[in-house]
Amino acid sequence: CIRDSIGCERKEGISMEYRKFGDKYVVRLDKGEEIVYSLLKLCAWKDIKVAQVTGIGAVGEVTAGLFDTEKKEFISHTWTGDMEITALTGNITTKEQKPYEHLHITVAGRDGMARGGHLKRAVVSATAELFLTAADGTVEREMSDEIGLNLMKF
């Protein structure tokens, strides 16, 4: 259902709700929704090709890590339990004309210890509040054999 600047998507197991203000989207995800998947779906549905992303919320499962520059591969860790998202930031670009995310997350659990890295997956345990600022245009990514990552191509 879409009414004026209020939107809700109930497709493919996603029940996110959002509101659009000019070039900005304010998004709410509910318990059980996966952040990366939901974000990429919204970008595909709304034809968002370039955007800045920020967010906060609560998650029960997170997979994040870092890129090992020597081995040219990601080392991922998965954490479970009640965690607050203390920072979620990144961007949306495209790869092969499809939305492509580059997100980093920091979460803190009951012990107050922070964990984080390059976000691969995060399942919402209460709610997540995301803000996307879209821009006109496209920035495509291309694999760099030298670095081993999909780099922005200008």
d(CA 130, CA 39): 9
Q: Does the pLDDT at position 1 exceed 80?
A: no
Q: What are 52-83's pLDDT values in tens digits? A: 999 999 999 999 999 999 999 999 999 999 99
Q: What is the DSSP string of 1-53?
A: -EETTEEE--STT---EEEEETTEEEEEEETT-BHHHHHHHHHHHTT--SEEE
DSSP secondary structure code for residue 137 in this structure: S
pLDDT at res. 15: 81
| pTM for the whole structure | 0.91
Q: Does the pLDDT at position 6 exceed 80?
A: no
pLDDT at res. 10: 55
Q: Does the pLDDT at position 146 exceed 80?
A: yes
Query: Mean per-residue pLDDT for 102-122?
Result: 98
In sequence order, the β-bridge partners of residue 59 are: 83, 124
Q: Does the pLDDT at position 154 exceed 80?
A: yes
